[in-house]
Structure 1
Amino acid sequence: MKLIILILAVAVVAKSAPLKTSTDNCIANYLKKNELLTSAFGDESEVEITASCEMLVQTIKINIYKSLEDSLIEDEEMKEHSECIIDNVYETDYGDKLLVLHVLEKDNLTLKEDEKMEMKNVILQDAYALITKALLKCKMNSIFGEIFDSMFNEEENSSEEELSDIEDYCVRKYIIDNNLLDKSKYQLNKNPKNIDTTSVDCVTIFNSVVEQIEREIVKIYTKEINSSSEESKEDEDKTGSDCVLKVVRLGKYVEMLAPFDYLIEFNLSDEEKAKEKIKFINIMDDLTEQFALKCYTLTKK
């Protein structure tokens, strides 16, 4: 996938507009105006953005994303999620990063060669990170939707390892005590099995359940790390797992997700299911974002 970035970085601007000095000046001025270039790239007093220049830059950026989309479709790993990746990357400064890279290729700079190379490497890493994180988010969103749908599939639910009656009671108690379900919509039965709870230590039991689910979440995310790595190393896997576990625990994601397992007990309409699904995916999106920021390293690629 790095090849995609490199090809786009050195060629896409040339494909998007004629290689004229006026085009280069327009791009440089646009970047300086938006504080994406420093004074090392010429006299800042010369910055001037005409309407035609603004239009040219926007056209070039549109073509950058189109070229990226074409490349993603040709990539075996990416093509399934290409549309989703583009939607996510489009909201970033990916296009501007490639424009900066184009300017760095010019010879009329007051930068030393090693300075240029360092800047180019940083930009390439940033651009690469934007795409890999978008890919991760898109792949995980697909998984999240399937997980949510499976909660309403009785066959799939019955095949999963069930909580004991005491564990189930403690999870229900936690959900109710912490108002994790809208009580005006959902009246969750705290003790449907009518078990004796007089000596139940729900704090310890609930924490144990949370730890079990945390391990399952860690497996899902570390699988994504390993699937993107040509050669997995045990110490790297351990580091990735520890990082994901830390993110999950600090964000209390298992606790936030607990109520969704009990929605099957209510006769939800398709519209209500759709709303709850959005909530579920939003929580998992946030987890994915934190995971991508803190645990998804470029050295795995």
Structure 2
Amino acid sequence: MPSTVSPLSIPSNLMKLRPILAALLALTLPLPAADAPKQPVLLYCRHFNAVGETRYLPDGTFKEILTKLRGEFEVRVNSDPLTAKSLAGVNVLLIANPSDKAVGQNPPPPHVSAQDVATLGKFVEQGGGLIVLGNQENHNLEFTDLNQLLARFGLQFVEKFTDMKAVVVPKNTPVIGGLNWAYYAGNQVVLTPGHAAKPRALVSNDVSVQPLNGARNEPGCLLAVAEPGRGRVVVATDAGWITDDALSGKGVGRVSIKPQDNWEIMRRLTRWAAGR
């Protein structure tokens, strides 16, 4: 008689292959969301900006830059006081043009306090990143109290100004070398020699390049960095260079500076501040 195969023998044989099949299936499945790489956190802090201040709003002239940064960072925006709790999990803190005076009938804005200096100093020295953007005059910029914070990193804002100009960053400059910075006017940073935070100029004003909209062309530092403890600090003397109109090429104050790599400069500086 011809041999017969039991209908139960095939499943029995397949049972032996189940561990192998399960392992192969596991290799084809996507990683759980919890295992996906987490983006570093950037906090745009509006705590020091006056209520009613329309400059550099996250849904206004800073909308595009924050949208772009969301491609590489988890971007948070709030006006909360800066505490160890509010800074928990934050990799980079951005402060732009902190306000000096109240706007309209609104309450006066908080200035940087001694407690803020202690909190932010500890945040940075323990590995956090800090980016501070200054400005030219007539922009309600507070820097007297802000300088108490910057002094901790060997940096100071001073009232020396440079008007709008095209800045070609030298190729040998760390982080942003070879890029074109469309600079839309600002103040200046002074460095403290020999400071432990290793402050240094990343971009100094080339006075041989004439401004496009005025005569002010002060020699000195336009963009500085420092490395206190395990952290990193970036201080730029202009806030308008990352506004929507600056990034689009439309320009600021009827002046358009081209070519410009402002987004790429901000991207690299932010990543550097985050330790990336």
Q: Same fold (TM over 0.5)?
A: no
Instruction: Give the alignment's TM-score, normalised by structure 2.
Output: 0.26
Give the structure with the larger helix fraction.
1
